[in-house]
Amino acid sequence: MCGIVGYTGKRQAQAVLYDCLCRLEYRGYDSCGIAVNTPEVQVFKDAGKVRNILQNAPRFEGTAGLGHTRWATCGEPTRINAHPHIDCTGKISLVHNGVINNYAQLRKRLEANGHKVVSDTDTELIAHLIEEYDKGNLEEAVRQAVKEIDGSYALVVMRSGDNTLVAVRKDSPLVIGVGDSEYLVASDVPAILGYTNRVIYPEEGDIAVISPDSLKINRNGEYIIPRVEKINWTPDEAQKGGYSHYMLKEIHEQPQVIQNTLINMPLTESFYKSPLLEQGRKTGILFLACGSSYHAALTGRYLVEEHLNIPVRLEVASEFNYMQHLPPCKLAVVLSQSGETADILRAMRRLKQAGCMIVAITNVAGSTAARLADHVIYTQAGPEIGVAATKSFIAQLVVLYALCFACASAASPRYQDYLSTMRLLPGAVQKILGSHQNIKDAAIEVAKAKSAFFIGRGINYPIALEGALKLKEISYIHAEGYAAGELKHGPFALLSPETPVLALVSRDQTYEAMLTGLREIKVRRAPLIVIGEDGDDQLEQLADRVIKIPPFNRLFSPILFSVVLQLLAFYAAYELGRDIDTPRNLAKSVTVE
C-alpha cells in the first residue's frame, strides 16, 4: 500500500519526486524519502508525512531519482526503516511496494554472506540481493534477485552514476508515464498526471529498463513494444478544487459521478444476452469484495436475488482465499475500486484456473483486475484521493443497480422505467448536498459519543454497515452496523443515553418493523437519529432528530442514505479535528494480504 515513484529525464528529479509523492500520500504516510543520482546516490528520509519531511531535504542536483511514501508492514515507521534503501556499497538504491514472505530465510543467508542489514524491513534485503548479482548489468541483476523472492513487489531500482531505472512488478501495481524525453514510474496514476496522460501498464513479471530517451520492456525473455494508453482524468480532478478536504470534494462530485457512470454503462442488448446471465442462472453468481466494496456487493445480492431470481453467494475475498474447495459457481462478479486489491487478485486467479467466468467492477482502466477479468465495467468515478471510499462506493452501487435492471428488463418493462428513474438520481443527491446543515448538527452530537450503532433492514442493512465503517475509519469513534432486528439479540445491553443509534428508515416493506424497533430503542433512552423520507410525520414523533432525504423511488434509498452517512462521518471527524483524508493506520489501496 506504499506509494513509489521514479523519474529520469531532463528536469531536476528532486522537485518531481516531491510533487509526485505529495499526490501519492494517500497510499501511505508514516514515513517517506527520496534518492537522487548526483551522480552518487544521495538519500534523505525520515518518519513522518511527505510535506513535513521532504520540505527540509537538502538540495540534490540530478535528473534521475526515486521516491517513496510508506505504509509500514515490516518494521516500524522510523528513519532507518523508511525507503529508499541502499546496499552495502552505497551504489544500489531502490523503493518497494509489497511484502516479502521469505524475509527471515533471505536475511539469514545474506548476513551469513557478509551483508550488514541495518533496518528491520524486508525491502532492504532486495538491495543486498541485487548487489550480489550485479556484474555490470542492472537489468540482469534485478532479474536474478527477484527469482529468490517469495511475495509481492513493485520495485524501482537505480545505480549510482547511471540515470537508467529498472522496474519490475509482481502482484503490486505499477504504471509508467511516457513524457517528452522523460519517463516516470509510479504505483498509481494520480502521481504522474501533472506530467503526462500517456501511460504503460507493465504485466506481471515484466522488467522495464528506463532511460531518458528509451524504454525497453522484457517480457518472458523477449523485448516487446508496449501499448501506450491515454488517461482521461485531468490533473484538476486529483486536486481539492477549493474544498477543505479531498473527501468533502469527492462527496460533492457524486451527482456527476452517477451521471458519468450511467452514460458509460454498456447497457446494450448484446451485452446482456451474452453467456454471462445464462451462466449465472445455472449455478448462481459468486460476489467477491473487501471493505466498502463488500457492502456494495451485499446490496447487489439483495438486488439480484429479488429482481433476477438468481441465487448469489457473497464472500469476503480475504476469507475466500483460505477455503479449500471452490463453490460450484461458474460466474463471479468481483468489486475493487483500485483493481489492485491483493485479496481480490488472488481470488480471481484461483477462479480463472477453475474455469470461472469473471466480471470485474473497478474504477481504474488498465488495473490488474481489469486485465484478469473476462468482462470489465468501469465505475467512472475519476481519481479518488481520500482514503475513505465515497464516490467510488456510490458508483459501484449505480453499476450494480443498472446491471441488475438491464438484465431484468427483458422480463418486465417496469425495469426500463427503473433505468429511466436512475437518471434522476443526480438531482436527488444534489438536494442532499445542498441542505446539509441538519446532517452537520447531527454529526456534532455523534462526535460526543464513544460508541454508536447504525441500523437498517432489507436492502438498507448493508448501508448501515457502510455508515458504521465510515464513522470509525475517519472519526475513530467505535461504531457497529446491525440488521435492525438483531439489536435485541445482545446489543441492546449496550444502549444508554451516551450511545446514539442512527436508523435508516425507508417506506418499503420493512417500514412497520423499523418503527417497532425505534420504539424499543427509545424505551432504552438511547439518543435516536433517524434518516428518512421528507414528510414522514411518524419519524418526527419517535426520533430525537430526523435527517430528511427527498422523496424518491424507495428502491434507490441505499444511494441517498449513503450520501447522508458520508457527510455525517465527515462532519463528526471534522468536529474532532481528525486527519480526515489520511486516517491513522489506513491507506487507500490494499495491495498486501
The catalytic position among 45, 49, 391, 588 is 588
Instruction: Report the alpha-carbon distance of residue 455 to residue 486 in Å, rounded.
Output: 9
Q: CA nearest 151: which of 108, 117, 113, 106?
A: 106
Instruction: Report the alpha-carbon distance of residue 590 to residue 592 in Å, rounded.
Output: 6
CA-to-CA separations, 262 to 402, 450, 574, in angstroms, rounded: 8, 39, 32
End-to-end CA distance of the chain: 10
Identify whether 311 is preceded by a cis peptide bond (ω within 30 of 0): no
Residue 488: active-site member: no
- The C-alpha angle with vertex 26 and arms to 582 and 227, in degrees rounded to 5, equals 165
11, three cell numbers? 528536469
Residue type, 390: T
Instruction: Report the alpha-carbon distance of residue 6 to residue 10 in Å, rounded.
Output: 13
Give the DSSP letter string of 383-428.
Answer: ---SSS-SHHHHHHHHHHHHHHHHHHTTT-THHHHHHHHHTTHHHH
The helix or strand, by DSSP H or E, that contains position 529, with its residue range, turns out to be strand 528-533
Instruction: Report the alpha-carbon distance of residue 569 to residue 443 in Å, rounded.
Output: 7
Residue 2: active-site member: yes
Contacting residues for 210 by C-beta, under 8 A, at least 6 apart: 6, 8, 164, 165, 166, 167, 176, 183, 185, 216
The answer to whether residues 247 and 276 touch, using CB atoms and an 8 Å cutoff, is: no
CA-to-CA separations, 37 to 16, 66, 178, 223, in angstroms, rounded: 13, 9, 20, 26
Identify whether 500 is preceded by a cis peptide bond (ω within 30 of 0): no
The answer to whether residues 560 and 428 touch, using CB atoms and an 8 Å cutoff, is: yes
The catalytic position among 2, 32, 329, 356 is 2
Q: CA nearest 98: which of 173, 198, 186, 203?
A: 173
Active site residues per annotation: 2, 588
